[in-house]
Amino acid sequence: MKNLFRIKLYHVEGYRVYNHMNYKPGRIGFSFMMEGEALVEVEGRNYLMNPGQLLLVPGDKEIIVKHVSNAVGYDGSFDIDFLKDASYPVLHNQEPLLQSFWFDDAVFMAALFKRMDAAFEDKDWAFLQSAMDLILGQLRGPSRVAVIPEKFLQMVFERDKAPMNVADYATLLGVTPNYLNKTVKNHTHRTAIDWIEIARLNMAKQYLKDRSLSIAQIAEKTGLVDQSYFSRFFKKKTGVTPTEFRNGL
């Protein structure tokens, strides 16, 4: 039974970016977030996770973690054969499912996943099967994200492409900068500028691992041609200069 189900607690301090994973066909991955945030891409579509949200991912799909910040939660996977009842409609979705649980429901889910983690260690498979029945019975079906925020996040976090400014993205999306900021904030609780800065900072941290690149080259690659401005931006966000960050790696 152990090979049919797994769960673990995760705790990510600071930032982590571009982690790739996937599950074999017939196996479904899940992640429940209690603190922090994460932006993941599955088959070209972005899913922004916040506290109290559960992400269910069908097997055989590549998952790209684009951004994680101070996240705490549980993730794992299970085979269909592990379940007592495999008839839940959500198990047959071709797309990932992101569902929110609010207030008391979120507290209950966090406590349930904690109990499941302990049950996994104790090999209490009967409890885990019952818990999965309870969880799957509460999932409603695929959620639909707003088109503009989804496309915006996809462009901002496009790998190896320097983030642009809000006006440039607004032009590409056929909306005004004010509308872009408003709709992105309504959907993600961050402004478009916030996401651009997060993407730029994450990209800079990745490039700083490559010691063959100078600070000036990294500044240009992240869309800030002025090296001194790039250094000020980096220190404001991290508390250290790019060189200090690199030396600490």
| Topology at the third CATH level for domain 2-138 | Jelly Rolls (2.60.120)
In this prediction, the residues of the chain whose per-residue pLDDT falls under 70 are 14-23, 141-146
User: Hey, what are 131's tokens?
Assistant: 């818990």
DSSP string across 138-169: H--------HHHHHHHHHHT-TTS----HHHH
For residue range 126-165, list pLDDT tens digits in order.
999 999 999 998 887 655 556 889 889 989 998 889 999 9
Nearest to 222 by CA among 199, 246, 248, 247: 199
The number of angstroms, rounded, from the C-alpha of 94 to the middle of its chain's C-alpha atoms is 19
pLDDT score for 5: 96
pLDDT score for 124: 96
120: number of Cβ within 10 Å: 19
The number of angstroms, rounded, from the C-alpha of 243 to the middle of its chain's C-alpha atoms is 28
Domain ranges within the chain, ordered by starting residue: 2-138, 148-247
Its pTM stands at: 0.74
pLDDT score for 142: 59
pLDDT score for 249: 81
Element holding 48 (H helix, E strand): strand 45-49
CATH 1.10.10.60 fits 148-247, yes or no: yes
pLDDT score for 206: 92
